[in-house]
Amino acid sequence: MKYGYVRVSSKEQNIDRQMTAMKEHGVAKETIFIDKATGKNFNRKGYKRMIRKIKPGDEVFIKSIDRLGRNYTEIIEQWKVITKKKKADIIVIDFPLLDTRKKVNGLTGTFIADLVLQVMSYVAQIERENTHKRQMEGIREAKKKGVHFGRKSIEQPDNFEEVAGLWKEGEISLREGAMLLGVSHSTFSRWLKHM
């Protein structure tokens, strides 16, 4: 049986491109599972339903690896669930090396796909680390130039002491005091702590 998995990050995004790819590969509309949810984890209704349906020998089509998910550690884990536990094949349409059905020079497609995924996972991890490193370097350089990060602190209004006194006497609530000062109740609360 051929199954398709289609995912977009939000309800506003269009799935037409992925649906066309599924149709071109002979995946029937009724065997396509769709999620309109983030790819940060696999807690998705459509994906879970698909996993329950898969049987040994089935094929799972995905347009591109990022449609499966964004976290390579979890992608590798789910890849194992599909290929090892469920004994089904995965075909990533936009990346022919990620097709577990094929054999190349005596090597199984599963072996090649697993290897490619491991390399992709490593590259993604290195890129995350490099991005973080570049951000930290940029922040250090900006701080050297006197750039301040975060929100500017809000100046206490002239009537703060008076309003704080009313609050201490129990004449007004925290929210009422914040309204009188024109700030959020959390800001008013923070100012009260530093009196």
Q: Do 23 and 96 belong to one domain?
A: yes
What is the rounded distance in angstroms from the CA atom of residue 125 to the CA atom of residue 132? 11
65-90 mean pLDDT = 89
Q: Do 43 and 118 belong to one domain?
A: yes
What is the rounded distance in angstroms from the CA atom of residue 163 to the CA atom of residue 174? 10
Q: Do 77 and 20 belong to one domain?
A: yes
Domain contains 183: yes
Quote the pTM value.
0.63
Domain contains 181: yes
153-171 mean pLDDT = 89
Please name the helix (run of DSSP H) or strand (run of DSSP E) that holds residue 104, with its range, or none: strand 103-104
Nearest alpha-carbon partner for 52 in 91, 28, 25, 85: 85
What is the rounded distance in angstroms from the CA atom of residue 81 to the CA atom of residue 104? 23
DSSP E strand boundaries for 121-179: none
What is the rounded distance in angstroms from the CA atom of residue 87 to the CA atom of residue 56? 5
Token pair recorded at residue 91: 């075909």
Q: Do 111 and 15 belong to one domain?
A: yes
Picking from 102, 126, 150, the residue at the C-terminal end of a domain is: 126
Token pair recorded at residue 156: 């206490």
Please say if the pLDDT value at position 122 is more than 80: no
Domain contains 87: yes
| Overall domain count for the chain | 2
- Longest Cα–Cα distance of the chain, Å, equals 84
Least confident interval from 71-80, 102-111, 183-192: 102-111
Nearest alpha-carbon partner for 15 in 51, 60, 67, 69: 67
Q: Do 14 and 97 belong to one domain?
A: yes
Task: For residue 110, give its domain range.
Answer: 2-126
Domain contains 185: yes
Would residue 9 show up in a list of annotated catalytic residues for this protein? yes
Please say if the pLDDT value at position 106 is more than 70: no
Percent of the chain with pLDDT over 90: 42
pLDDT band, very low/low/confident/very high, at 105 (cuts 50, 70, 90): low
Domain contains 11: yes
Which one is catalytic: 9, 64, 121, 189?
Answer: 9
pLDDT tens, position by position, 20-35:
999 999 999 999 999 9
What is the rounded distance in angstroms from the CA atom of residue 106 to the CA atom of residue 93? 22
CATH of residue 89's domain is 3.40.50.1390
